[in-house]
Structure 1
Amino acid sequence: MPRFPLSIRQRLALVGLAIALLLAGTGYLVTDRLSHWQLETTSWQQVAEAESKLPPTPHAARQRNRPSTHLSEAIGLAGLLLLASLLTCVLLMVLFTDHLALRPLRELAQWLGRNNGEPDRISTLRTPEIVDLTDRIRELLRRSREATDARLTMLQQAVEQSASVILITDAEGNIEYVNPRFTEVTGYPPGEVLGQTPRILKSGEAPEEVYRELWRTIKSGGEWRGDLHNRRKDGSLYWASETISPIRNCKGEITHFIAVQEDVTEARELAARLAHQAAHDSLTGLINRSEFELRLTALLSTARREYGSQHALVYIDLDQFKVINDTCGHAAGDELLRQIATLMRQQLRQQDVLARLGGDEFGLLLRDCPLEMAARIMNKLHEMVVNYRFGWGDSHFRVGMSAGVVPITAGSPDSAELLKLADATCYMAKEEGRGRVRILRDGEAETTRVSREMAWVERLERALEEDRFLLYGQAIRPLCYDRPDRCEVLLRKLDRDGRIIAPGEFLPAAERFGLSARLDLWVIGHLSELLSHHPGLLSGELMLAVNLSGPSLGDERVLQQIADAVREGPLAKVHLTFEITETAAITNLTAALQFMEELRSQGIHFALDDFGSGLSSFGYLQQLPIDYLKIDGRFVRDMLEDRVDAVIVRSVNDLGHALGIETVAEFVENDAIRERLQEIGVDFGQGYGIARPAPLEQLLRPAADGAS
C-alpha cells in the first residue's frame, strides 16, 4: 500500500483544520486509503453524499484522475477558511495560559511531530481526547469569568465602603461617580452631583491659581496633591486632603480622573488650636512672650529693610498688682489681668500688638509710630489705667502702671537687647516714682547707664557658665552678751583678668534682668559643696546666714530647690538663717510666708534685711515669722551725726524687742558706733568696724580645725 507524503503546506493546513474542529466540539478521523482521502465525520460525509448525487462535470472527471491535488486543495481551502478560528485560539492561549489548557495542545503538537504528520498515524488520535481538551478550555473560561466577576465585585465593594471620599469624572471634569462617603461628608446625594463638575464644592477661599495649577498637572498626566477648603451642601466648610490622578485607556489616552479625599477638618482644627495655645496666653487671650519676640524680630527686620521707618517698643508693668493678688488671692489677680488686658486692647490701633510677657508685665509693639506719637498713645493708655477701679467683693482698688518706651529704627540692636532696654527703661520709670511713662531717647544720660547694666547681663551669664564666682563671708558678732559669732555668706565675682568684683556692681543688674535667682542657687549649691569638703564644721555650732533675692521668693521652682537642699545634705547640719529684704518679703508676701513656715519647721531661721527702708513694712511685720531684724545700715552709719537716724535705729530696736525679735545693726564702721549701739541695746553688729569680709573657706578654717 503506497504512501503519499504530505507537503509542508498540507501539514499546516491539517493542523489548522484539527484545531478549528476542536473548537467546534466534535471529534474527526482522517485516514489515507491509498490515493483516496476520506474525512470520517458526519458533516463531511453528508457533504460527500450530496456531492455524489450531482451530475459529474468534465472538470470533475478530470479531477478524479488527480486525487492528491484534490485533497491538497480541499485541505488548504479548509485551513484558509478556518484561519480566523486559529487566530482566536492563539489569542485565548495567550490570555488564559494555564497548565490544564496548554498541556493537551502541547501533546497534540508533540504527537504530530513524532509521527511526522503521517495520515495513517493520525487516525490513532481519538475523539474523546479532543472532547476532553475542549471541556478543559471551557472550564478555564468559566473559572476566569467567575474570578473576574469576583474581583470586580470586591473592588466595587471596596470603593463603596471606603472611608475616603472617591469621585470619578470624565476627561472634561463632569462627575460620573461618587461613593457613599462623598454624600456623608458633603451632604450631596449622587443624583444632585452626577453630570455636575467639582466646582459645586468650591468655597471661594483658595486662589484661582491653585485650581489652574491643579488642572495643568492632571491634564499633563501628573498627580496633584493638596488641601482644599471645600463647601458642603449646607454651606459649612470642611478641609479635604486630596489626591487627583488621571485614568488612561489601552491607547494611553486620558479618559477619566479619580479624586480621593480625606476629611481633615478635625485635624486642621486641632492643629490650629494647638498653634493658638502655643502662641497665646491662656489667661488673657493675648499673645505670649515667645510669639511677641518673633513679631518684634520681624518688625525690626522691617525697620532695617525700610530705612527711615519708625516704630516703638513698650514694656508695661502694673504697679499695684501684687498688693491685690496677695490681699484678695490669685483669683482676683487673674481677673484683674483679664480686665486690664481688655481695656488696653480697646485703646490701641488695629496694627498694634499687645502681649502678656508674664506675671503683671505686658509688651506692646506700636507699628509705624514715631516716639512723639508713641508718647501720646501711652499717656492715653496710662490715664485709662489710672482712672480704672478694680472691684472684688466689697473692695475696690486703684491700679497703677509704669511703662518704658524705646524706639525701633534701622540702627536698633537685636530684638533681645531691645527687650532688655525697654525693661530697663520701665524700671527707671519705677525708680522715678512709679505710675509714669518713661521714653528713652538717644543721647540721654540714662541710656549710658542702662546700656552699662545690660552689658553686665552678658558678663554675668558667662560667669555663671564658667563658674567664676567666689564665696566670701563677714562675721556678725554679739554686742551685749557673750554669744557665738555668726557669719553672713557673701558673693563676689571673679573677672577674667583676676579682679574680684563686689556685689554692689552686678547685683542691681542681676535683679533687674532676672539673674538673681540663678545666683541664689549657685550660692546654695557651692556652699553645700564647701561644707561637704570640711565635715569637721558640721559637728560644731556653725551659724551661717544666706541672702535670698526677691525673684527667688516669687519663683516656686527655685524655693523648692532651696527647700530640698536644706532638708538634705550638709546644710541640714548647720544653724542656717535666710536673710530676705523687707521689699522682697512684702512684694511676694504669700510665697514668702509659705516658704518661711515650711522651713522654720525644720529649724531654719529668718532675718528681715534692710529693715526701715520702707515704712510700709511695719504693717506686715507681725505677719512674718522673723527671728532677726537687720537695721538698715544707712541709718546706722550716720546715727552719730543725724538725730533722726539715731531715733529710727532706737525705734526699730525697741520694736523688734517688743515683738521678741533680736536686732542686728549693719554698717558698724567704728568703735564709736558700736558703743552707741551697745547703749541702745542692739543685739548684734556687722560692719568694717567689727570684721571685714574675707573668703569663706578662710574664715571657716579655724572652726574646722577646732572641731577636728
Structure 2
Amino acid sequence: MNAASIFQRHFARLPVWQWLFLAVATLGLSAASRWLTLPGVAFSALWPASGIFLGAVLALGNRPLWLLVPCMVFWSSMLMNEPWAMAVSGAAGLACGSLVARLLIERGKHSISARGTLSPLHYLPNLYFKGAFVGSGISSLIGSLGYRFSVPAAAEFAWQDIWLVYWLLEGLGVILFAPLFFFMLRRPSFTWQSIRVDFAKKPILIWAVMVLLAITLSVILGQLGDDRYAPIFALALFPLVCWFAAEASPPSLDSIIPIFAAIFVVFSIYQWGGLPAVEDITGLLRVLLQVGFLAVMAQLVANINHQRHLLLDRFRRQAYQDYRTGLANDRGLYQEIKELLETNRNGQHYLAYISLIDIQIIKELLALDGAITVESVLTQQLQQFAVDHAVIARLSEGRFAVLLPNSTKTQAEIAVNELQQRLSRPVDEAGMRSNLRISIGVTPVNGQLYSPQQYVSVAAQAANIAKQHSLNVYWVDNPKQVAADHYSKLNRFGLLKDAIENDELELFAQEIRALREPEEGRAFEVLVRMRDEQGELLSPAQFMPAAEAFGLMPALDRWVIHHTMAFLAADSARLEGTCKCAINLSGASLSDPDLANYIAQQLNYFQIPASKLTFEITETEAITSTQQATKFILDVHALGCRVALDDFGTGLASFEYLRQFHFDEIKIDGVFIRELANNDVDESIVNAICKVAAAMQLKTVAEFVENVELSDRLANLGVDYAQGYGIGKPQPIGDLFTHGKRSS
C-alpha cells in the first residue's frame, strides 16, 4: 500500500481542523509541560500526551494514531534531543496503552454508544481503571523499557522505580486531559457551547472572582513573606474546584481541572503563595499526588452531581410522563395546553378525548395483562398518528387524549376521523377479533376557559355524550357553555348529595286516572323535588342530570322507595285507599343486583302490600345488562309488585323490549298524546300500541293528557289510564290525600 492510499484511507476521513488541532495541541502542550518540572529533571510534572492519545482514539477511532505517533517521535527526538529508541518506544507505548484502554472501554457497559452517557470517561471506572491504571500501565511499561535501555544514566535507578514514576505521570495525564480531548474532538460544538453557557451564569462568575481573588492574595502575601495566610488562599483552590464541579457542566469542568492542576504545580515548584519548597523528585511526586487527589475529588463531586441531576430529570419526566406507555400523563397534557395558550392564544387548536368504552369488560374477559396489551396496541397506533406537533397523552385506564395545535377544523376533523378508524380495529395481539368501541369528544382550545383542566373536562364530557348517544365523535362548539353546564351540575350534585343524606328531598305525586274501568282506590305516580340554597323548589330536570352524571341515581331511587313506603305506612287509611303507587327506577338501579332484596326488606318492614306498588323502568335509557334486568323483573314479580315500561315509543328498543321482558303495563310517551286530536298519525300509533298491549294483556297509560276531551278520545282508542295536567298537576304527596278529591 503506497503513501497516497494510506492518506486517502486514514487522513482524509477526518476534517482538516481536527488534524491541525491534534498536531498543535500535542506538540504545544508537550513543550509547555517542560516548564512544569524541577531543574535537571528529565520528565514533566504534568504529561498531557497520554490523555491526548486516549481521548483522541476514543473520540475518532484509531485513525489519529497515524498523526499522533509521528508527532511524539518528532517532538522527542528532534525537539528534546532524546535517543531514537526512547522516542519510538515512548510513542509506541502511548499508542499501545490507548488502544488497549479503548478496547476495554468499548467492550464495557458504559461505552461511547451507551445511552444517556455524556462521555465514556465520565463513568469513572473507565477513566481510573481502564484508562489510568491499565492503559497507562502498558504505555509506561513500554516507555520505561525504552528509557532504561537507551539512556545510560538510567542504570543508576531500579527499573521498577522508573516504571512506577512513568506510570504515575501518564496515569495523571489520562485523568486530567483525556475527558477534555474526548469532548473537544467528539462534540466540539457542544463543548464550546457548554463552556459559554456556564461562564454566563451568575454563580460561575462569582466563583471566577473568588478564584482570582484567592490566587492574587496568595501570591501577594507570599511575596510579602507572610507564610501564615498565603498557603490558606493557595489551598482554597481545592474547595473552589469542588464548588465548580457541583455547578458546571462536564465539558467546563474537564477544561478547568488541568488549568488548576497546572496552577498548583507552578505554585509548588516556584514556591508561590507560601507553599513548601519542592527540592527533589520525591517532593515533586508528592505534589503530583496532591494534584491527582484534587482532580479525583473534583471528578467524584461532578459525577455525583451529574447522577443527581439525571435522577432529578428522571423524576421530572415521571411527573409528566405515563409510567406504562411513555406518553404524556395528565400533568404533561395540562402543561402542553398551558404553554400553547401562553404562546399562541389566538391560534386554532383542538383537543380530542378518547375513551375506550369497554375497558372494564376487557379487564374481566382478558384479565389485567390483556387490558395492558390492548392499551399498548392503542398506544402504538397513537404514536404512529402522523400529525405534526400533536401531543399524545394517557390520562387513565382506557382514557387517552390528543392535542392538535395550530389546526383548522377541517384538518382536525380529518385527523380525528383517522384516529377513530385506527383505534377501532380489532386487537389481534390480545385475541380480540371484534372492533373496539371508541368514543371521542373534541373541543376547541380557544382561550375561553381558565385552565387546561377545564378543556380536558369539557372534552371528557363530549366523549361521554358520544357514548350515551352511540356516536363515534361528538364535537363541542362552545366549550365555555359546556363548562358552565358542568359547573352547574357539580353544584346540583353537592346539593342533591346533602339532601339525600339529610332527608331534605320532598315527595310529590301526580294522579293517574282510570278511563275504562271503575276505580278501586287512588292511583298516582311518585315524583321527587329538591330545594336550592334560596329555598326555591327545583324540578327534576334541574337536578336529575347531575344525579345521572355523578352516579347518584341508585341512592336517589332507594331514598324515594324508602320514604314512599314510610309515607303510606304512616296512615292506615291512606294505605288502604291506595290502589296503585308508581315509582320510577333509573337504568343505573337496574344494574344494582341488590335492589330487589332492598325492596323486599322495605315491604316487610313497613308491611306494605306488594300489589299496590308499580315500578316504572324508563325505556329511553339503554338497559346495559339484559340478564340483570330480566332477573330484577322476575324478582319483583315474585314479590307481588308490578313493572311498567315508561316513555314507550321514543326510546332505544321499544317493541323489542316488550318481547324480551315481562312487563305488566306500558306508558305511552307524551309525544304521541299532545297533538293526538289534530294528528291522524299520532292517533294511529296510539291505536297500534293499544292493540299490541291488548294482545299481550298489558295495561296502557297515556302521559301528558291536558284535557277531559282528550281523555275520552284515548278511552275510545283502548287506553286504560290517563296522566297529565288535565287529570291533576304534581303536588306534595300529602296534599294529594288531604285535598285531592278527584273530579269526574
Please give the TM-score of this superposition, normalised by the length of structure 1: 0.50
Determine which structure has the larger strand proportion and give its number.
1
Structure 1 or 2, whichever has the larger Rg, is: 1
Determine which structure has the larger helix proportion and give its number.
2
Please give the TM-score of this superposition, normalised by the length of structure 2: 0.47
